[in-house]
Amino acid sequence: MAELLFWPALLAYGEACVAYAGNMWRPGTLGRLATWGVRVGWLVQTGLLGLQATRADGFPWDTWADSLNLFVWLVVGIYLVWGCRARYGLLGLAVMPLAVVLLLVAWAGGGTEAGGPSRYSDLFLVLHVGSVLVAFAAFTVAAALAALYLWQERRLKDGSAGSVLRLRAPSLGALDKLSARTIALAFPALTIGIATGLARLASHGGDFDATVVATLVAWVVYATFMVVRYGAGWRGRRAAYLVLLGFALVLLVRLGLPLTHA
């Protein structure tokens, strides 16, 4: 049953990637097809996660591959908030291929199967993992927005007005604002995730491993972003670089260090 939901979701996300790419050359129908691909894929993946939730004994996404499946769903869900607008098609071109690749990795690691016992039955642990995953998914989308900002800024700087207007990307102002808002919403989730994790660490005993340290450094980077963006009014290229730096740490934590974290 899980397989019956996984493949259609992957297919829909894949269709969205192809349609977004085609939409760059001929905007219009392909963009709408891409958006529908994202919507349908996300709904089917929701069904898959629902199935996993009903069949699991406890928190169903406790392995690295399981949580990657949930992470992809969160990333696509956050993208969907404004991804239906035609002008954010280019953002879809950044987010959806990443979603396809990560979903395939999750599948290869057995993260899209249903059933089995869960290691997570502790509420604190569920809150810790859930909050961190939500924050990381939002930071991923924010990084895509920041990357799009830097690309659009380069185009505007190059002075090729014709190409800027031929291939319309979201404006610098919109990208900067959305990226900052996404981080502002995700930052409290990361804080809660870290706080619950540290509380559990204190109660159960244990040491700071590399993942904990990298997550704390990421928190410092995003906290700095919040201060300079909302406190000092900084925006533009430097703010975008800071977002990408934070995302590099998120990637490190998400992909590079899971084996070190119990």
Give the binding site for other proteins (CB under 8 A): 27-28, 152, 156-157, 159-162, 164-166, 168-174, 177, 232-239
**Nearest distance from C-beta of residue 29 to other proteins, angstroms:** 8
Could you say which DSSP state residue 159 is in?
T
Radius of gyration from C-alpha coordinates of the chain: 19
* DSSP helix, strand, coil percent of the chain (3-state; round to 5): 80, 0, 20
**CB nearer other proteins, residue 28 or residue 205:** 28
**CB nearer other proteins, residue 202 or residue 232:** 232
**Nearest distance from C-beta of residue 158 to other proteins, angstroms:** 9
Residues 216 and 209: their CA atoms lie apart, in Å, by: 11
Could you say which DSSP state residue 111 is in?
T
**CB nearer other proteins, residue 57 or residue 158:** 158
Residues 214 and 23: their CA atoms lie apart, in Å, by: 38
Residues 6+ apart with CB under 8 A from 4: none
**Nearest distance from C-beta of residue 239 to other proteins, angstroms:** 7
**Nearest distance from C-beta of residue 142 to other proteins, angstroms:** 17
**Nearest distance from C-beta of residue 200 to other proteins, angstroms:** 39
| Range list of H helices, 56-122 | 64-83, 89-108
Cβ atoms of 31 and 19 closer than 8 Å: yes
HSE (side-chain half, CA atoms, 13 Å) at 113: 10
**CB nearer other proteins, residue 168 or residue 181:** 168
**CB nearer other proteins, residue 177 or residue 261:** 177
